[in-house]
């Protein structure tokens, strides 16, 4: 039993040595057990099941094109070039997610609660930040266990259909319940601010977004937001840190400036409402 345990540790150590790569955001060397090509393939394979979990895609090409256009502007300036894809899901439960490989999702429920296009850019910028900094991949490695995660990826990319289905189910469940740590959330906020500003949006949209979520969490929408806040913890410190960053690094940005995309956003938000499907928050 001892020899077997040591052998397992040696296998993990070898995998770690092979999977060591440079984080494109921090420049630090980190243990990542799958290369980018496998990460993208994993996201593509897991996407249909994940989308089904949240009511499917909103069946409106104009709405999808709108969300995609905002997301693409933000992703174009990220630290990690990859095939990002932005999709609006039908669930009325407010949330946003990013699968490994750059597939970013926002629910109709969240879109219905925010007030302008720059807040949407903040949501998508935040999720893009999680992808760019490899937060979701590292989080799944920690949550599932490095060896289990590597095995799940192998099952998804292998030829055995039963193993593939099992691997997809594990990854989807992992993403749905993945809880980002405080440092990951701070970093994703900072990256979101940087990306949305470079894309031409007013960075005050991030502060507005966080303030809106905090206000709603204490009101009648609190129970609906509980799922998002459990996976993306919101604290007063996050709001204060975002405010400090914008005030010090983006002084030219005015907090009360009109949002040039406001008319388009209002039109698209109203168009989203009939497509929302009522879902119970995930346990």
Residue keyed to tokens 């994703």:
188
92 or 17, greater pLDDT? 92
pLDDT at 9: 38
Are the CB atoms for 62 and 168 separated by under 8 Å? no
233 lies in some domain: yes
Domain residues for 103?
41-275
| Range in 61-75, 101-115, 227-241 with the lowest mean pLDDT | 227-241
73 lies in some domain: yes
| pLDDT tens digits, one per residue of 220-241 | 777 788 889 899 988 889 999 9
Nearest alpha-carbon partner for 117 in 202, 197, 223, 189: 202
Tokens standing for residue 212: 């809106």
20 lies in some domain: no
pLDDT at 250: 97
Q: How many angstroms separate the first and last alpha carbons of the chain?
A: 37
What pTM was estimated for this model as a whole? 0.90
Q: Is the pLDDT of residue 263 over 70?
A: yes
Alpha helices in the chain, H assignment, sequence order: 2-18, 36-53, 61-75, 108-111, 117-132, 135-144, 146-157, 161-177, 182-198, 204-217, 222-231, 236-249, 262-272
Q: Is the pLDDT of residue 34 over 80?
A: yes
16 lies in some domain: no
Tokens standing for residue 95: 């949330």
23 lies in some domain: no
116 or 149, greater pLDDT? 116
| pLDDT tens digits, one per residue of 133-172 | 999 999 999 988 887 888 888 888 876 777 788 888 888 9
Q: What is the mean pLDDT of residues 60-70?
A: 98
14 lies in some domain: no
Rounded distance, CA 190 to CA 184, Å? 10
Name the range with the highest mean pLDDT among 43-47, 222-226, 259-263.
Answer: 259-263
Q: What is the mean pLDDT of residues 118-128?
A: 98
82 lies in some domain: yes
pLDDT at 159: 63
pLDDT at 160: 77
Q: Based on the structure, what is the number of domains in the chain? A: 1
12 lies in some domain: no
């Amino acid at each position: 039993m001892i020899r077997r345990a040591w052998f397992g540790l040696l296998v993990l150590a070898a995998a770690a040595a092979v999977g060591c790569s440079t984080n494109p955001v921090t420049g630090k060397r980190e243990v990542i057990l799958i290369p980018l090509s496998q990460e993208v393939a994993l996201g593509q394979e897991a996407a249909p099941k994940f989308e089904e979990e949240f009511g499917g895609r909103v069946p409106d090409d104009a709405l999808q094109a709108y969300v995609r256009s905002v997301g693409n502007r933000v992703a174009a300036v990220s630290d990690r070039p990859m095939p990002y894809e932005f999709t609006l899901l039908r669930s009325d439960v407010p949330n946003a997610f990013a699968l490994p490989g750059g597939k970013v999702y926002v629910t109709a429920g969240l879109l219905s609660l925010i007030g302008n296009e720059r807040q949407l850019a903040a949501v998508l910028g935040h999720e893009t930040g999680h992808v760019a900094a490899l937060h979701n991949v590292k989080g799944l490695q920690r949550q599932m266990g490095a060896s289990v995660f590597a095995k799940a990826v192998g099952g998804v990319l292998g030829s055995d259909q039963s193993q593939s289905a099992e691997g997809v189910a594990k990854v989807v469940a992992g993403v749905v319940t993945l809880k980002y740590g405080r440092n990951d959330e701070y970093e994703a906020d900072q990256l979101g601010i940087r990306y949305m500003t470079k894309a031409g949006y007013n960075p005050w949209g991030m502060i507005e977004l966080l303030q809106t979520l905090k206000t709603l969490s204490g009101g009648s929408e609190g129970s609906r937001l509980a799922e998002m806040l459990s996976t993306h913890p919101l604290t007063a410190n996050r709001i204060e840190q975002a405010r400090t960053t914008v005030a010090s690094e983006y002084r030219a940005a005015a907090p009360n400036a009109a949002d040039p995309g406001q008319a388009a956003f209002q039109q698209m938000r109203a168009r989203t409402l009939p497509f929302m499907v009522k879902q119970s928050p995930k346990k």
